[in-house]
Amino acid sequence: MKTIISSKILFFILICSMFSSSCGSKKELISEENPIDTSGGDVPVQWRVTEFTFTSSKTYNSSFDDVALDVIFTHTDGTELKVPAFWDTDNNWKVRFAPTLTGNWTYKTVCSDPGNTGLHNKTGTLTCGAYTGNLDIYKHGFIKTTPNIRYFTYDDGTPFLYLGDTQWNMAANSLINFKKIVDKRVLQGFTVCQSGPSNAKYNLSDGITPGDLFGFNDLDTRFQYLADKGLVHANAQLFFVSELGWNRAKYSDAYLEKLCRYWVARYSAYPVMWTTAQECDKDFYHGRLNATGNDENPYYDSTTNPWKLVANWIYKYDPYKHPQTAHMEYVSFTNASNSSFKDLPGHSWFAVQWAPAKNGQLDFNVPKDFWNNGQGKPAPNYEGLYDHLWTLEFGARMQGWTAYLNGMYGFGYGAADIWSYNSTYNMDKPTVRDGITITIADKNTKWEQSVEFPSAYQMGYMRNFFNSIEWWNLTPRFNDPVWFGNNGSWYSVASKNNDLYVAYFYNNTNKYTGTLKGLAKVSYSVQWYNPITGIFNAATTVTIADGTYVIGDKPDINDWVLLVKKK
């Protein structure tokens, strides 16, 4: 894994080094593809982004550097949100606001230059209507974390099933192709897009200039499209992680803080989750040698990691306090126990990078560490092995089931030419991993084919299965012999007390399973679920006499899921 990680880092370094008022105008950002319902006419809608434009009465040498603008929104119930605004061409300033409550709001602008009559002390009112569409993210509200609840929820407390699609260099593909991929992922059942700003069409190392706004506007369109489709956007901030290593001298702390504020101003009003930067927790592989014998990151260690500053500033300026994490190094280097970000004020979940063994029993010590030492935070398997890059259909599918049944309550899927558009990474030779051979031809699969991979549809089947039960009440049983006795299988088991059991068997050379334990002496419904087709076999009824259930053989040698429910 070390060689693979090093190659990936080198690859990314290469691609990345390149309201009704007299004072403001209001525009609701609504796409033609997904019009949203309002309570009547031009009315802001709860949880949907609404944009206001203000015009500066002064011209500055650098609008980005010389002046700051905040807009304070206050609801009649006393709720107050201080939302940063951002400079966007000429003398125009914009604020993006997502009302968290229906009803009446007032707003007041606060400018760092009180003499700017176009920006300072402007007031207005708006009335927010209820959302009446079909997208869960607006019916239930933005995603949040709650102390000692190990899964994500919507704002109203409804559990949120995290199923992510990975598009690290989202901005590299054309907007037309990007929309086609997103549309397909929505149909396949994904709920999250995981992205990074690699290949964003701006250069922040010399300050923000008018020329950089084109790149931000391009990102705006993509953020908006994801929001219109109802996807949560788990996004990394600003640029690829290595930028604050080799190029750190160009980013003073003061400038970096302004950049973080600017990112929040542009994107916090969308349904987002902050992931800080790729593999920055704990220290972007500081002290580990790459293939040429050099330190992968000689610039900072876990104590001096500048991405901690980024995380703190994003949290400082975010009025919605969206879930925040730092994409983690591979689990052999970083886990919950030694995370360098876990105690930061805004850190509320772990973005785990774990590739459980596909040709043997997984290492339960990995999910156990996040379960026992993860401060009760959600810990989705954010990055595993991508289909047709490091694994194939079975391996991609297997990772999702093992994540959910081992208490991670979320999975980040990835596929060739979508995880990184037009990537040339590791294309020169086949890869053999976990007994699976990925050929050069596999790796060269283009996004038009990979968006249709069976494994992507199988992620949707997995989601359907978990939505048919109260998945958030499942407790992982790991390798606890009190709950399961193995009989030569490779497995993951979780249960809701002894009322419901889910067992996943991925041994693909035999039909072995094992014995469920701790059952009540009553009747249970037993049913096999095929994760390849998304179809249940016929249910049978068994009566438990001694608290155990000997499962018997799987229907065939493929991976299968067993659902056992108390009747």
Domains of the chain: 2-16+141-473 (3.20.20.80), 25-136 (2.60.40.10), 478-566 (2.60.40)
| Confidence check: pLDDT of 33 > 60 | no
Q: State the pLDDT confidence band at 12, using cuts at 50, 70 and 90.
A: very low
CB-CB contact of 329 with 275 (8 Å): no
- What is the rounded average pLDDT of the residues 52-74? 94
**How much is the pLDDT for 42?**
61
pLDDT tens for 139-182 read: 999 999 999 999 999 999 999 999 999 999 999 999 999 999 99
CB-CB contact of 323 with 350 (8 Å): no
- What is the rounded average pLDDT of the residues 315-342? 98
CB-CB contact of 507 with 487 (8 Å): no
- What is the rounded average pLDDT of the residues 467-478? 97
**How much is the pLDDT for 381?**
98
pLDDT tens for 489-532 read: 999 999 999 999 999 999 999 999 999 999 999 999 999 999 99
CA 563/CA 465 separation, integer angstroms: 10
The rounded percent of the chain whose pLDDT value lies above 90 is: 89
Helices (H) and strands (E) in the chain, counts: 13, 30
CB-CB contact of 81 with 87 (8 Å): no
Q: State the pLDDT confidence band at 11, using cuts at 50, 70 and 90.
A: very low
Question: What does the DSSP assignment read for 209-246?
Answer: -GGGHHHHHHHHHHHHHHHHTT-EEEEE-SS-TTHHHH
Beta strands in 332-430 (DSSP E): 351-353, 381-383, 410-413
User: Which stretch of DSSP H or E encloses residue 295?
Assistant: none
pLDDT tens for 190-231 read: 999 999 998 999 999 999 999 999 999 999 999 999 999 999
pLDDT tens for 252-310 read: 999 999 999 999 999 999 999 999 999 999 999 999 988 889 999 999 999 999 999 99
**How much is the pLDDT for 38?**
34
| Confidence check: pLDDT of 3 > 80 | no
Q: State the pLDDT confidence band at 39, using cuts at 50, 70 and 90.
A: very low
| Confidence check: pLDDT of 22 > 80 | no
The residue type at 462: M
Spatial neighbors of 457 by CB under 8 A, at least 6 apart, are: 188, 534
User: Which stretch of DSSP H or E encloses residue 75?
Assistant: strand 69-75
**pTM, full prediction:** 0.92
| Confidence check: pLDDT of 24 > 50 | no
- What is the rounded average pLDDT of the residues 95-106? 97
**How much is the pLDDT for 89?**
87
Name residue, tokens 């190659």.
Answer: 7
Q: In the predicted model, what is the mean pLDDT of the chain?
A: 92
| Confidence check: pLDDT of 21 > 90 | no
Evaluate the CA torsion angle 92, 98, 104, 108 in order and state its sign: negative
Cis peptide before 94 (omega within 30 of 0): no
Beta strands in 453-513 (DSSP E): 475-476, 484-486, 491-496, 500-505
User: Among 36-40, 101-105, 259-263, 265-269, which is the least confidently predicted range?
Assistant: 36-40
CA distances to 105, 537, 538 from 525, in Å: 52, 12, 10
